[in-house]
Amino acid sequence: MPSYGAPITIEQAKQAAEAAVAEMRKHNLDMTIAIVDAGSNLVYLERSNQAGIGTVDAAIGKAKAANGIKTPTKMIEDMIIKHGQSNLLAVPGAFPVEGGVPIIIDDKVVGAIGASGGMPVDDGAVANAGAQGLQP
């Protein structure tokens, strides 16, 4: 599992968000995209005009959870659904829904991105696009 690195910069966060927004628009979705740093502090948030109000907290929650476990939130979802690990529902900050992805640069977790507003698979695709937006 990768270790934490220096926190993502605002410039990097904007670049990741730009890649996520491009994926969101490609699928004609209205979403909120949140990016947290390696300490799970909100660095950047972008909400589409028509994204639901509840998508803000969900996007932030997904980003914080992905940063905290250093792996996509889809893994938490799969552990509960596919492996019966319902005890994970009691873990503070766990967000067992696809759409949170760690942002890794040079094998270090520098933060994470969360997307909310579509179906879980859409949220995951948008978050993954954002996380990959900083890769060379």
Per-residue pLDDT tens over the stretch 1-16:
899 999 999 999 999 9
Q: Span 99-118, mean pLDDT? A: 97
CA distance 64 to 99: 11
pTM here is 0.95
136 pLDDT more than 80: no
Q: How many CB atoms lie within 10 A of CB 5?
A: 16
Residue 46: HSE in the Cβ half-sphere, 13 Å Cα cutoff: 20
* Mean of per-residue pLDDT scores for the chain: 96
Do residues 53 and 27 lie in contact, with contact meaning Cβ atoms separated by under 8 Å? no
Tell the residue number behind the tokens 């004609």, with chain if given: 28
State residue 58's pLDDT score.
98
Question: Which stretch of DSSP H or E encloses residue 46?
Answer: strand 42-47
In order of their start, the domains of the chain are 3-132 (3.30.450.150)
Pairwise CA distance, residues 87 & 47, whole Å: 32
Query: What is the structure's pLDDT at 66?
Result: 97
Alpha helix locations (H) across the chain?
10-26, 54-69, 73-81, 120-132
CA 76, CA 63: separation in Å to the nearest integer? 13
